[in-house]
Amino acid sequence: MKIKWAFRVVIAYLLFGILMYLYLFHMANTSIPTNLKGTSADPATFLNSRELFLSEDYSKIRNLLFFLSTPYEWLFYFLILILGISTVFEKWSRHTSRNRIIQTLIYLFWFSLASFIFTFPLSYISYRFSCIYHISTQTFHSWMKDEIIDFWVNYVTMFVIVFVLYALMKKFKKKWWLMAWLLSIPFTIFMTFIQPVVIDPLYNHFYPLKDKALEAKILALADKAHIPANHVYEVNMSAKTNALNAYVTGIGSNSRIVLWDTTLNKLSDREILFIMAHEMGHYVEKHIYFGMAGYIILTLIGLWLISKIMAYMVKKYGRTLNLTSISQISSLPLFLMISSMLIFAASPLTNWGSRYEETRADRYAIHLTHDKKAGIKAFQDLTRSGLSEVNPPLLVKIFRYDHPTMMERILRLEKYKNK
């Protein structure tokens, strides 16, 4: 019976993949509206024929991989549960030691290793396509190094979360979700605080901006926006990608303004200042704090739903899933599967909120710099460097885009210009 369920789920995943392929490659409409032909939002006006072809081709592949990757994780969690592999990992951990800390470390190691191996093919395919389309400049050795760092960073973070979570499940059988939520608040703030100075440097080298003349312009802009900033940081991303980016990260004394060196190499000073003004808009309007507040609220709702769904699943399908209680650590795949499904279901809402904040930041950049031409050119260059679609399919926009589409962003600048 369990083998039949596993087979049915695999078939369902394959059918879903076929449907998404048909939608993205044959049914979705990504053409520019007729009234926008020839405008600055029309990619034909700023991309050559080869860039247009590559943009359309790569976007379809990237979108397909996005829609395949999340259900692929669900497939892993389901198979490792129903085939009893999670239970085997738990038995190994118990036979090795009676100490709960060591048991959690051992179980998580085998679980994380199995997850890494299972998801590696899709990760590698995504990496290879980014190389083929000249988005990634990263060597396999460098990419693999990042994957291994990811493995250990996730392993350490997961250990802290899982050990505390399952200790709460054992102690507070019905209200564990509330206790877990209360503890998640300081943990979230702490992780946001240490991200720029502890985690990010594990992947890339950060250093003060070399172009001091440009730094002076950025700091003058920050002063105009009443942002206390003494340094702008540069990160060496050109060894990994041709894409462009800039961001503000961290909170309190660890907050940083960061520019990728690819952005510095490919954009003019005016374009960089517009992008910096956009990032300053996030800071001025305190989007990082609103984002944290939203995350904390959604975590409360999510943990409550997970507690109800897990209790129901164990009660009704416990034998099939090889579970007798939600507090046994082998139920972790069920916890992660439900969490991932809820996050995916909530993504239209969270993406909408993020797109609203990005729109606000764009407007702030216009008011701060009064340089619409630089903004339009920057968005066009971002499209070219990332081979992005200016008008993605509806499902892609809803489930994947946490920024407005480039067509929307450029049109907003054009309309502001007309005023």
Q: Residues 276, 279, 281, 284: what is their CA dihedral angle, to the nearest 10 degrees? A: -110
Residue in 87, 104, 13, 103 with CA at minimum distance from that of residue 319? 87
Helix, strand, coil proportions of the chain in percent (round to 5)? 75, 5, 20
Model pLDDT, residue 417: 55
In terms of residue numbers, what domain contains 60? 2-26+49-203+287-418
In a domain, 108, yes or no: yes
List of residues 6+ apart from 242 with CB closer than 8 A:
134, 135, 136, 137, 262, 385
Per-residue model confidence as pLDDT tens digits over 297-354? 999 999 999 999 999 999 998 888 889 899 999 999 999 999 999 999 999 999 999 9
What is the layout of strands, in order, in the sheet containing 256-260? 206-208, 233-235, 256-260, 246-249
Q: How many CB atoms lie within 10 A of CB 310?
A: 21
Calpha distance 209→224 (Å, rounded): 20
List of residues 6+ apart from 134 with CB closer than 8 A:
242
Q: Which of 90, 234, 271, 279 is catalytic?
A: 279
In a domain, 217, yes or no: no
Backbone angles phi, psi at 219, to 5 degrees: -65, -35
Model pLDDT, residue 202: 83
Residue 282 annotated as binding?
yes
What total of structural domains would you count in the chain?
1
In a domain, 80, yes or no: yes
Calpha distance 154→119 (Å, rounded): 14
In a domain, 239, yes or no: no
Instruction: Return the ∠ at Cα 310 (arms to 300 and 333), rounded to 5°.
Output: 95
Tell me the two tokens of residue 123: 């990760």
Task: Answer yes or no: 389 catalytic.
Answer: no
Calpha distance 9→5 (Å, rounded): 6
Q: Tell me 150's DSSP state.
A: H
- Asked if 334 and 215 touch (Cβ cutoff 8 Å), the reply is no
Show the low-confidence residues of the chain (pLDDT under 50): 418-419
Q: Tell me 328's DSSP state.
A: S
Q: Tell me 331's DSSP state.
A: G
Amino acid identity of residue 55, one-letter, is S
pTM for the model stands at 0.89
Q: Which residues pair with 249 in a beta bridge?
A: 256
Q: How far apart are the first and last CA of the chain?
A: 67
Model pLDDT, residue 107: 96
In a domain, 266, yes or no: no
Strands (E), 105-208: 206-208
In a domain, 279, yes or no: no
Q: Which of 362, 371, 381, 389 is catalytic?
A: 362
Task: Answer yes or no: 362 catalytic.
Answer: yes
Amino acid identity of residue 56, one-letter, is E
Model pLDDT, residue 162: 95
In a domain, 218, yes or no: no
Model pLDDT, residue 126: 94
Model pLDDT, residue 253: 65
Residue 51 annotated as binding?
no
In a domain, 188, yes or no: yes
Residue 73 annotated as binding?
no
